[in-house]
Chains A and B, each alone.
Chain A
Amino acid sequence: MAYQSLRDSDAQIENFNRANTVNLPRQTHLSAVLRLAQIGSIMGSGGLIVMDETSCMVDVARFFMEFCMDESCGKCIPCRAGTVQMHDILRRITTGEANEDDLEMLKTLSDLLRETSLCGLGQTAPNPVISTLKYFPQEYEAHIHEKRCPAGHCHMTAAGQEVAS
């Protein structure tokens, strides 16, 4: 059974950092690959989600924002009201109703929540948006400019189609 040596997996992490995708040989031991801090991630409560090309990264970001919006305690304004507006923008991207300004606002709000929220929930709420924007910008652009979901997951509404035409 092929088991990756540490040296090999180091090389893979290097490749990951450069390309942000990694093709692993079958049966690679996860612990050898996932040195999370090195690839800019955190483990949190220990959950790990595996996705492939049928997951829409915008919808993934929307899903996590919905979670943060529901979990926000509501004490500070950036988190209480900011997660609501970020979720609304992400939802409109997935239905094809968003434009370039919305994308800009999404980035602006990400900075606001990260820098001004009172606790870790609001401060980290934009993380899925920031990393999907960094690693999968073409998915956002396809939704906004071509009204198309590359993963084939999102259904563009009539309102969205109108914006496109």
Chain B
Amino acid sequence: MNVNTLQIDRKMVTGREGDAIFAVAWEHGIHIPRLCHIGGLSDVGACRLCMVEIEGQKRLQASCLTPIQEGMVVRTDTPRLRQHRKLIVELLLAERNHICSVCVADGACELQSLAAALGIDHVRFRYRFPTLPVDTSHERFGLDHNRCILCTRCVRVCDEIEGAHTWDVCGRGANSLIISDLGEPWGESESCTSCGKCVQVCPTGALFDKGKTIAEMRRDRGFLKYIVTARKEKQWIG
């Protein structure tokens, strides 16, 4: 195993060759913001929140998709990056309906806590608030498109871990929508095994357990580490 040494935010760190900057930073307590990444699933570099500055490179890079290199000098929290991150989160808050006080995920939402961490106290954009459907056709779960930020964690966990590939994205641009199978209601999906993995990885209040009311939705993500290490390292860790 080859090891690379690099500098992240003036801290000397080491990581395995080929590891992403994002993973090495988190291992060393430098918590780069993210919404589409979740440990255990493949990375898509879609939210652009984990972008970092690398010395000698003009362009910003998505740290979840950029491997470390020997001698690299990375900055994860500059005024320019903070400005970009704030704008991205504000864009999300204006894109669909995020009224936290009536949301199942209130108090345990990654979008909400990121907004708070970035000091967002108002949104500078006009709220789009499109009227989108809520799919409650599944026996145990629901999907509220109005809270969905299109991170595709549900798509990936269902495909990569459960192997069902119930979810996908239809449409494009601002009209993108998560769909089950070929657009059938979730409850009528033939591929869904009702495992609930998608509900556990959703960062917002979009996917929820039925019966949960405002601020009651809490998630269990332990299963991801459990399954992924079992598959990769043939070890069952708790």
Alpha-carbon distance A108/B88, docked complex (angstroms):
12
Q: Would A80 and B150 count as touching, CB distance under 8 A? A: yes
Which residues from 34 to 74 on chain A have a C-beta closer than 8 Å to any C-beta of chain B? 69-74
Q: Would B84 and A74 count as touching, CB distance under 8 A? A: no
**Quick one: which of A71, A85, A105 has the most chain B CB within 10 A?**
A85
Q: Would B88 and A73 count as touching, CB distance under 8 A? A: no
**8 Å CB contact of A75 from B44, B83, B94, B95:** B44
> With A69-B174, A71-B173 given, is the CB distance from A81 to B92 under 8 Å?
yes
Q: Would B173 and A76 count as touching, CB distance under 8 A? A: no
> With A76-B48, A77-B46, A84-B95 given, is the CB distance from A116 to B176 under 8 Å?
no
Query: Size range of the interface on B?
Result: 20 to 34
Q: Closest chain A residue to B171 by CB distance? A: A74
Asked if A109 is at the interface of the complex by the 8 Å CB criterion, the answer is: yes
Which residues from 91 to 149 on chain B have a C-beta closer than 8 Å to any C-beta of chain A? 91-92, 94-95, 124-126, 128, 149
Q: Would A85 and B94 count as touching, CB distance under 8 A? A: yes
Q: Would A115 and B60 count as touching, CB distance under 8 A? A: yes
Question: What sequence of 0s and 1s flags, for each residue 11-45 of chain A, a beta carbon within 8 Å of any chain B beta carbon?
Answer: 00000000000000000000000000000000000
Q: Would A117 and B150 count as touching, CB distance under 8 A? A: no
Q: How would you classify the secondary structure of chain A's contact residues: helix, strand, loop or mixed?
A: helix
Say how far B145's CB is from chain A's closest CB, in angstroms.
13
Say how far B59's CB is from chain A's closest CB, in angstroms.
8
Alpha-carbon distance A38/B60, docked complex (angstroms):
26
Contacts of B169 in A (CB 8 A): 74
Q: Would A112 and B128 count as touching, CB distance under 8 A? A: no
Q: Closest chain B residue to A73 by CB distance? A: B172
**Quick one: which of B51, B87, B91, B128 has the most chain A CB within 10 A?**
B87
Contacts of B44 in A (CB 8 A): 75
Say how far B166's CB is from chain A's closest CB, in angstroms.
20
Asked if A96 is at the interface of the complex by the 8 Å CB criterion, the answer is: no
Asked if A126 is at the interface of the complex by the 8 Å CB criterion, the answer is: no
Say how far B170's CB is from chain A's closest CB, in angstroms.
10
Asked if A141 is at the interface of the complex by the 8 Å CB criterion, the answer is: no
**8 Å CB contact of B174 from A76, A80, A115, A117:** A80
**8 Å CB contact of B46 from A82, A111, A115, A118:** A118
Contacts of B92 in A (CB 8 A): 77, 81
Asked if A160 is at the interface of the complex by the 8 Å CB criterion, the answer is: no
Asked if A88 is at the interface of the complex by the 8 Å CB criterion, the answer is: yes
Alpha-carbon distance A117/B48, docked complex (angstroms):
7
Say how far B203's CB is from chain A's closest CB, in angstroms.
13
Say how far B44's CB is from chain A's closest CB, in angstroms.
7
Alpha-carbon distance A84/B127, docked complex (angstroms):
11
Contacts of A117 in B (CB 8 A): 48
Q: Would A85 and B48 count as touching, CB distance under 8 A? A: no
> With A77-B46, A116-B51 given, is the CB distance from A84 to B84 under 8 Å?
no
- In the complex, 24 of the A-B residue pairs with CB atoms within 8 angstroms, ordered by the A residue number, are A69-B173, A69-B174, A71-B173, A73-B173, A74-B171, A74-B172, A74-B175, A76-B45, A77-B47, A77-B91, A78-B48, A81-B92, A81-B94, A81-B95, A85-B91, A88-B126, A111-B84, A115-B60, A115-B84, A116-B48, A116-B51, A116-B60, A116-B84, A118-B62
Interface residues of B (CB under 8 A from A): 44-48, 51, 59-60, 62, 83-84, 87-88, 91-92, 94-95, 124-126, 128, 149-150, 169, 171-176
Interface residues of A (CB under 8 A from B): 69-78, 80-85, 88, 105, 108-109, 111-112, 115-118
